[in-house]
Amino acid sequence: MIAYIKEEVLLAVKRKGTYAYIAGIVILCLLANLAMLAFRSIYGMNDGSHAYNLILFAEWLFVIPYYSTILIADIIFGKEYPNPHIKTRVTAKLNRTKRYIGKLIAGIVLSAMLVVIAIVLFFGATLLLLSDDTIGLWTVADFCQKVAIAVPLWIAGIAIANSMLFCFENKKHAYAAFFTIVFLIPRIVMFLASERIAIGFFVAVKQYILITPRFDELQYFYTLNIPQIILTGVVYTVLFTIIGIVCFRKKEF
């Protein structure tokens, strides 16, 4: 299994999708810093134009890595639908369940690598372009803590994405199902749980079990309820892993 996961990660690292993803990170980091520089040129240096403020704004963009979990899962997934009849040196003794879990873990490993790259590039670009004395070790530590807290929810996103890719042979359908689960359904729940409507069932769902890419809308994330964040991430990860495995095992090739 370890050899299989290692092979999947190495193959993913060499794929064009990974380079495109990193290029997207670079572009986003540069655009964010250039936007702050433009703000400074218009309004001058004030309480909202320091490098520290950009770090705070970046926390609002956690939605991007959550949505992009489908891209990471797709990079690991490869161009062709995983075929259990294709035997290689590392897959010869692996059944469908192990191959599924291997791809899921490989997706998590690749995601972790990309998160580290994103943090390094973001702080590097910010220190280079917006160099001031507002970024200290405590700023970096605080931001990394927020990233770490969001990790269980990002892993759940990868599990959902991986599941959809295994459930649908057509990737367009897989993407549509993914965004229905992570965007459309949460928006509906948030609307029905809003103060204006406040349907009891949906209020409870929002409070205890909903995952939405805008983590700041989640009460348990806003209050840093770590046990609930971990539990919610684990439940979603296990649930969609089971769904994906069942779908993959029922597929006929």
**What is the mean pLDDT, run by run of 10 residues, along the chain of 253 residues?**
86 90 91 79 63 72 82 86 64 82 93 91 81 72 83 91 90 93 86 81 78 61 74 92 91 68
Q: In this structure, which amino acid lies at residue 177? A: A
CA distances from 197 to 120, 183, 194, 200 (A): 43, 20, 6, 9
The pLDDT value recorded for residue 88 is 66
- Model-level pTM? 0.86
Rounded distance, CA 130 to CA 189, Å?
40
Rounded distance, CA 117 to CA 233, Å?
23
Closest CA to 41 of 33, 121, 56, 28: 33
- List all residues 6 or more positions away from 96 whose beta carbon is below 8 Å from its beta carbon: 84, 245, 248, 249
The pLDDT value recorded for residue 220 is 59
The pLDDT value recorded for residue 73 is 93
The pLDDT value recorded for residue 83 is 63
Q: How many whole angstroms from its chain centre is CA 20?
A: 16
Decide if 102 contacts 4 (C-beta within 8 A): yes
